[in-house]
């Protein structure tokens, strides 16, 4: 077996299951899960209809590269959403459909990393654990850059020493961040693009939460947008990952895309051709419908706004928590250890939240996830409101 498999850490939900094992929750209350980032809003009906209508496509092997129609739909969406120069995206060179961003974020490191004793993959801390597993199984060492309250949960790229950049082959950034919800600014992205040029590494920007935000006048910036505005319209060293899971409430469709630097995309396509990961034909046609429509995204965003407004009004007086820049997570501090908080909240109020330390590693002598919890406001307004009232009562009776 690959010996690096032994270096993988248990997944956060494995740890959570152990934390809850043997606890009998308050059965007078219905269970409410705020632990998993799985959207629960209704999927767009017209997408489901197209999925059914195009079932005949399963009679043919799909192309790894996807259909030209899907790639054009993605190019149109990217260009409009991030105000990219017209025709700066070539659908033959810059775009690849993928089966959700999770598989693509993992596979990307396998294709891009040149194995060696000094290979380094940088990633945020707290983080999406796929980044770490991808680095380890690609034969690289993970390097964690902390995102803490001191910097509004944003990375401080300038604090990373040049000796680290010299070893870096790939950096994962996540904006809006999971779990913090912080959005990396255009200026920070452009600084990082210049650093990538200086030290010859790739930037992989996980932007799957980019369409859940609270101010219509300030949508989160994307890496390609930042690159284009500084004249990098070839998107050199820049790659973005987007998904319909969060944007369109279609997590089971497993549909997303990777876009950016044409040379990188060509190498990734070569890898994926062998990987055998082409998106099913009927999923591709359903995805076109989703990328071509914005109204369902606007409607879903309005529901999230209402949930955040309601929940924060209830718990802000008793908890150290604030509205994130974007995304559907709250990242509050806990008055006791995050694991104790999660365990006791489950026992007394039958609510599951994820301890923050399960989403981070100790780096520079701190674990930035400690004494935080991640709360995913993905359920209905009624459920999230009920959960907020229970959490408030839980804290008021300590």
What's the mean per-residue pLDDT of the chain?
97
Q: Are 119 and 169 in contact (CB under 8 A)?
A: yes
pTM: 0.96
| Domain's final residue, options 246, 271, 293 | 293
Indicate the pLDDT class of residue 230, thresholds 50, 70 and 90: very high
| Domain's final residue, options 256, 271, 293 | 293
Domain identity same for 161 and 178: yes
Q: Give the pLDDT confidence score for residue 337 in this predicted structure.
A: 98
- Secondary structure element (H or E) that encloses residue 206, with its range: strand 202-206
Domain identity same for 60 and 22: no
Residue 24 structural domain: 3-42+296-396
Max CA separation in the chain (angstroms): 61
Q: Give the pLDDT confidence score for residue 335 in this predicted structure.
A: 96
Compute the distance between CA of residue 47 and CA of residue 245 in angstroms, rounded to an integer. 13
CATH number of the domain encompassing residue 302: 3.90.1150.10
Domain identity same for 84 and 18: no
Domain identity same for 301 and 265: no
Domain identity same for 16 and 82: no
Q: Give the pLDDT confidence score for residue 374 in this predicted structure.
A: 98
Q: Are 136 and 164 in contact (CB under 8 A)?
A: no
Q: Give the pLDDT confidence score for residue 290 in this predicted structure.
A: 98
CATH number of the domain encompassing residue 232: 3.40.640.10
| Domain's final residue, options 293, 317, 332 | 293
What's the number of CA atoms in the CB half-sphere (13 Å) around residue 201?
26
Domain identity same for 286 and 304: no
Average pLDDT over residues 115-120: 88
Domain identity same for 248 and 353: no
Write out pLDDT tens, residues 18-35: 999 999 999 899 999 999
Domain identity same for 145 and 193: yes
CA distances to 143, 148, 158, 274 from 364, rounded to whole Å, are 11, 12, 15, 39
Indicate the pLDDT class of residue 361, thresholds 50, 70 and 90: very high
Q: Give the pLDDT confidence score for residue 117 in this predicted structure.
A: 76
Domain identity same for 163 and 95: yes
Domain identity same for 238 and 302: no
Domain identity same for 119 and 37: no
Q: Is the pLDDT of residue 350 over 90?
A: yes
Q: Are 16 and 371 in contact (CB under 8 A)?
A: no
Compute the distance between CA of residue 350 and CA of residue 75 in angstroms, rounded to an integer. 44
Domain identity same for 304 and 252: no
Integer-rounded Cα radius of gyration of the chain: 21
Write out pLDDT tens, residues 48-97: 999 999 999 999 999 999 999 999 999 999 999 999 999 999 999 999 99
Indicate the pLDDT class of residue 116, thresholds 50, 70 and 90: confident
DSSP for 270-330 reads HHHHHHT-PPPHHHHHHHHHHHT--HHHHHHHHHHHHHHHHHHHHHTTTS-----SBSSEE
If one counts the domains in the chain, the total is 2
């Amino acid at each position: 077996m690959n010996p690096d498999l032994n270096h993988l850490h248990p997944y956060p939900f494995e740890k959570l299951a152990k934390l809850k094992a043997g606890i009998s929750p308050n059965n007078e209350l219905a269970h409410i899960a705020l632990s998993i980032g799985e959207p629960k809003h209704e999927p767009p009906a017209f997408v489901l209809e197209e999925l059914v209508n195009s079932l005949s496509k399963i009679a043919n092997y799909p192309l790894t590269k996807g259909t030209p129609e899907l790639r054009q739909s993605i190019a149109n969406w990217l260009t409009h959403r991030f105000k990219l120069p017209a025709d700066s995206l070539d659908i033959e060179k810059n775009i690849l459909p993928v089966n959700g961003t999770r598989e693509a974020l993992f596979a990307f490191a396998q294709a891009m990393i040149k194995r060696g004793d000094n290979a380094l993959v940088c990633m945020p801390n707290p983080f999406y654990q796929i980044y770490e597993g991808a680095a380890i199984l690609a034969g690289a060492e993970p390097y964690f850059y902390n995102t803490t309250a001191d910097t509004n949960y944003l990375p401080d790229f300038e604090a990373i020493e040049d000796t680290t950049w010299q070893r870096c082959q790939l950096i994962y950034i996540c904006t809006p961040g999971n779990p913090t919800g912080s959005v990396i600014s255009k200026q920070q992205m452009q600084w990082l693009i210049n650093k990538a040029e200086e030290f010859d590494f790739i930037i992989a920007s996980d932007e799957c939460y980019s369409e859940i935000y609270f101010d219509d006048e300030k949508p989160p910036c994307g890496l390609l947008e930042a690159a284009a505005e500084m004249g990098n319209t070839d998107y050199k060293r820049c790659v973005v990952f987007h998904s319909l899971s969060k944007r369109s409430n279609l997590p089971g469709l497993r549909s997303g895309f990777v876009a950016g630097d044409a040379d990188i995309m060509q190498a990734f396509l070569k890898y994926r051709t062998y990987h055998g990961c082409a998106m099913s034909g009927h999923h591709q046609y359903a995805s076109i419908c989703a990328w071509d429509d914005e109204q369902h995204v606007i409607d879903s965003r309005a529901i999230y706004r209402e949930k955040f407004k309601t929940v924060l009004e209830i718990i802000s007086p008793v908890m150290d928590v604030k509205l994130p820049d974007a995304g559907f997570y709250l990242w509050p501090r806990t008055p006791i250890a995050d694991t104790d908080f999660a365990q006791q909240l489950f026992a007394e109020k039958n609510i599951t939240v994820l301890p923050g330390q399960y989403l981070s590693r100790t780096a520079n002598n701190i674990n930035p996830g400690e004494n935080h919890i991640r709360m995913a406001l993905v359920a209905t307004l009624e459920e999230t409101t009920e959960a907020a009232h229970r959490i408030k009562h839980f804290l008021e009776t300590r």
